[in-house]
């Protein structure tokens, strides 16, 4: 019923080489007809280099040579093509991170900002049933879980 989650923070598992991730994304975008440009690559590299959910503004700051609009456009492109996902913090702060799988939810640490994927296998079925009980046909949902990660609990 409940599955563990794999932590994304770089404390434990080094992620796949960033360059490979970037190349893969560029390739997928190319298949969709999007061009391979220098600024785009820089944006994607910067996204891939982040370990925790980040804001568009932070990304802009880390990419002084790329126009703000390009960063936002790149981010939107990644979200639209499913390469990245939006993460909404408790205070409605909107952040982004690479998608590590299809549809999933996030565990967000309010202390260090780390995120982990939350896998609640039957959550969707349960929500669908509850919606049906109210006469609704569920088409989607948004779920974020806030708290403290293991490391921050210890400290």
Partner DNA sequence: ATCCATGCAAACCCTTTGCAGTCCA
Partner DNA sequence: TGGACTGCAAAGGGTTTGCATGGAT
Residues that bind DNA (CB under 7 A): 30, 34-40, 55-57, 65-70, 72-74, 76, 94
User: Closest distance between DNA and the C-beta of residue 113, in Å?
Assistant: 15
Q: From CA 50, how far away is CA 10, in angstroms rounded?
A: 9
- The strands making up 2-3's β-sheet, listed across from edge to edge, are 2-3, 115-120, 105-109
46 binds, among a copy of itself, DNA, none (CB under 5 to 8 A by kind): none
User: Closest distance between a copy of itself and the C-beta of residue 4, in Å?
Assistant: 5
Q: From CA 60, how far away is CA 35, in angstroms rounded?
A: 21
Nearer to DNA, 40 or 106 (CB): 40
Decide if 144 contacts 125 (C-beta within 8 A): no
49 binds, among a copy of itself, DNA, none (CB under 5 to 8 A by kind): none
User: Closest distance between a copy of itself and the C-beta of residue 15, in Å?
Assistant: 17
Beta-carbon contacts of residue 103 (< 8 Å; ≥ 6 apart): none
Decide if 48 contacts 98 (C-beta within 8 A): yes
- Note the residues at the interface with a copy of itself (CB under 8 A): 1-5, 7, 86, 88, 90, 92, 94, 107, 109-110, 116, 118-120, 123, 126-127, 129-131, 133-150, 153
Nearer to a copy of itself, 24 or 124 (CB): 124
CA dist 145 to 21, 65, 91, 105, 136, Å?
Answer: 27, 35, 13, 8, 24
Nearer to DNA, 69 or 134 (CB): 69
The token pair at 36 is: 């391979």
User: Closest distance between a copy of itself and the C-beta of residue 35, in Å?
Assistant: 27
Nearer to a copy of itself, 3 or 19 (CB): 3
């Amino acid at each position: 019923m409940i599955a563990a989650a794999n932590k994304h923070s770089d404390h434990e598992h080094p992620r796949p080489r960033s360059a490979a991730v970037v190349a893969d994304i560029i390739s997928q975008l190319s298949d969709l007809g999007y061009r391979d440009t220098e600024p785009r690559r820089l944006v994607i590299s910067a996204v891939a280099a982040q370990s925790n959910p980040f804001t568009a503004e932070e990304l802009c700051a880390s990419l002084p040579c790329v126009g703000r609009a390009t960063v936002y456009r790149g981010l939107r492109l990644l979200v639209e093509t499913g390469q990245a996902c939006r993460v909404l913090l408790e205070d409605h702060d909107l952040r982004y991170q690479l998608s590590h799988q299809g549809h999933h939810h996030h565990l967000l640490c309010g202390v260090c900002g780390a995120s982990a994927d939350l896998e609640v296998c039957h959550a969707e079925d349960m929500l669908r049933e509850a919606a049906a009980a109210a006469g609704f046909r569920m088409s989607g949902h948004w779920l974020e879980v806030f708290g403290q990660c293991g490391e921050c609990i210890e400290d």
